[in-house]
Amino acid sequence: MESRKKRKERSKTKTMRRRRRRRRRKRKRKRRRRRQTPGQMATEEEEEEEEEKEEEEEEGESYHHQQQQGEEERRSLI
């Protein structure tokens, strides 16, 4: 039988992933709307740079999240 703690942890990661996915979709929608305006035609290079920045931000978020999990685990062990 799975412990409550593990079950809770897994549900937490699920929600984090879901939130991240929603954020990505939202950004994509916003980006598409921005591109549709004829006055501002974004070049492919700008798009790539923007995507790279966002990916780096997401990696930072996941790293921060992992650190928090590590701290929580240390506290629980004590």
SS (H, E, C) the chain: CCCHHHHHHHHHHHHHHHHHHHHHHHHHHHHHHHHHCCCCCCCHHHHHHHHHHHHHHHHHHHHHHHHHHHHHHHHHHC
Q: So what's the pLDDT on residue 62? A: 60
Domain boundaries, the chain: 16-77
Q: So what's the pLDDT on residue 31? A: 83
Q: So what's the pLDDT on residue 21? A: 93
Q: What is the pLDDT along the chain (78 residues), one digit of tens a residue?
A: 679 988 888 899 999 999 999 999 999 888 887 776 655 555 666 777 777 887 777 766 666 666 677 777 777 766
